[in-house]
Structures are given as structure tokens and as C-alpha cells.
Amino acid sequence: MVNNEFQLLQLTIGGEAVAWSSAGFDVMELPSGESVCQLGSVQLLFDPASDPGIASAAVNGTSGIFDSLEFGEITNFASSSVNTCPPSVHSNGITRIDHLVVTTGDCDRTTLAFEARGIHSRKVRTFGDDAAKMRQTFFWLGDVILELVGPDQSETSGQAMFWGLALISDNLQETADYLGGRCTPVKPAVQAGRKITTIKTREIGIATSLAVMSPHSKTS
């Protein structure tokens, strides 16, 4: 069951919004001059002064540093625009965020940091051979999944980092056709009944890793 107590509301994205616009994301400029993009319940706030990539997240009901991950307060202009800017289908066909991916060198440490704030893991999966086994831990941030990925055997020197986003398109092939050479061919996803394509973000100037998936099926 989705827990709306800790809804992900905003992600601050370092860098300019123009590359996102070139990939078919509808970006608008607020009266304050900030550029934003609404993806379902989540607003992307572009901050040219931040390092490239996902700089921070804002989650309803909590804030602070979670094992080196910055969870800040949502800003006034962002919270007001969430209410006045309903989710829409972007020019590329993408509608919302499926999951936010976080990488870590120590899954136990980062999981404990989330659970100390009341955000509890819902599922754990391991994959790979014994010599390099990896772990995925899943949390709900409202209607967005947070996927924590790291080695099953902790490497305590590795910090937690926001890594990328998996997005949803109701017609993935149309999205891939729109993006053309800016994405990889559509292929089956790990989740049963779903398909996926990866946007070639580095080639178009986006520092955040982006995948696009078909919607959840009854078997996924």
C-alpha cells in the first residue's frame, strides 16, 4: 500500500533546463525566474548553481541529511505551483516518475538512516553472483518508489548518492519514436510484463540518468 505520509514533492536538478526541453519535457518559468517541470506529483526545480545531477529532494513530512543525501524543505514558490500546475502528458509522452534511484556503498547504513525517519523498506531483492552480489531495497515516497542499490556486502567508504530516475510513458514505443536516436531501442524490462528504454542523457547534456518504462502491469 502506498503511504502518502512521505510523498516526494520536489527534486532539485543541477544545471540548466534547456537540455530537458530539447528531450520533450515541458518546462515552465515561474514568476520568480526559476524553471520547473511537473512530472506527476513531483516537481523538478532546475538550479544552475548546483552541481549537475539530482542535488536534493523534498519529501512531505520530513527533512534533513539522510546518510549524506539532502532532503530539504520544499520552497514556497514550488509548493504553490504544485497546486496550480496539474500533472500533464509531456511532448515526449512521459507522464510521471516511477522510481528515484539512490546508490550507496552500505545498504544497511542507508536503510537505517531512512528507517530512523520513519520511512521503512517494503521489499529487498539481491542479484548477481556471490562474488559481486548486489542488493535492491525499495521504499515508498508517496506514489514514487525509492530504489536503493548497492553491494550486498557493505563497502563502508561508499557514500549514498541520488543517481537517476525511471519515468513512465503510457505508450513507450511512441515515446521512443519521438526521442529517436536520443534513446536506446525498447526492450523487455526486468519487471515482468514491462518494457524499457534508456535516454542517452550524456549525449544531450542531461547529467541525471533517465530510463522510461511502460506502466505497471498486474503481474509486475
Q: Residues 140, 144, 148, CA angle at the centre, nearest 5°? A: 60
Q: Residues 210, 112, 50, CA angle at the centre, nearest 5°? A: 40
Residue type, 112: L
Could you report the per-residue pLDDT of 28-74, keeping only the tens digit for each?
988 888 899 999 999 999 999 889 999 999 999 899 999 999 999 87
pTM, to two decimals = 0.90
Structural domains of the chain, with CATH: 4-84 (2.60.40), 94-213 (3.10.180.10)
Higher per-residue pLDDT: 48 or 5 = 48
Could you report the per-residue pLDDT of 181-204, keeping only the tens digit for each?
999 999 999 888 999 999 999 999
Alpha helices (runs of H) in 15-138, residue ranges in sequence order: 18-22, 76-84, 107-115
With beta carbons less than 8 A apart as the criterion, state whether 133 and 181 touch.
no
